[in-house]
């Protein structure tokens, strides 16, 4: 199985900050990567697919980049509604595995 790691595991930030989260795959996955946001008690929502494509309705302050084994999710200017946990997920081969998550909370 492909293992996914994320860093940092948590980050404290302020509204307006630029936040970058890193995801690494244990083997190359081309651009088969997605990013999700999850708030407490809610289902995840898809933010980014194919490493850098913005899902419909997702604000443009979210962006994704990378290919192969190293990927990043960037929030250009953190908004109050962005405080949540973010997961990456590889879609290269089954079982499709998720990273352990990065919690973004208020500084």
Query: Where does this chain bind another protein (CB under 8 A)?
Result: 32, 34, 36, 42-46, 49-50, 55, 87, 89, 91, 94-101
Q: Tokens 């890193």 label which residue?
A: 22
- Least distance between another protein and beta carbon 23 (Å): 13
Q: Identify which of residues 40 and 80 has a Cβ nearer to another protein in the complex.
A: 40
Residue 29 falls in which region: left (phi positive, over 0), alpha (psi -120 to 50) or beta: alpha
Cα-Cα-Cα-Cα dihedral of 77, 106, 4, 26, to 10°?
Answer: 70
Q: Identify which of residues 53 and 77 has a Cβ nearer to another protein in the complex.
A: 53
- Least distance between another protein and beta carbon 29 (Å): 11
Q: Identify which of residues 37 and 78 has a Cβ nearer to another protein in the complex.
A: 37
Q: Tokens 């879609």 label which residue?
A: 91
State yes or no: cis peptide before 8, omega within 30 of 0: yes
- Least distance between another protein and beta carbon 16 (Å): 28
Q: Identify which of residues 83 and 98 has a Cβ nearer to another protein in the complex.
A: 98
Bridge partners (DSSP) of residue 14 are none
């Amino acid at each position: 199985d492909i293992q996914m790691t994320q860093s940092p595991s948590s980050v404290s930030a302020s509204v307006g900050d630029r936040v970058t989260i890193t995801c690494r795959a244990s083997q190359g996955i081309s651009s088969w990567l997605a990013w999700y946001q999850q708030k407490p008690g809610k289902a995840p929502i898809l933010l980014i697919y194919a490493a850098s494509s913005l899902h419909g309705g997702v604000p443009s302050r979210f962006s994704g980049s990378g290919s192969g084994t190293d990927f990043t999710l960037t929030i250009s200017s953190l908004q109050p509604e962005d405080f949540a946990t973010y997961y990456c997920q590889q879609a290269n081969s089954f079982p499709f595995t998720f990273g352990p998550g990065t919690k973004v909370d208020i500084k």
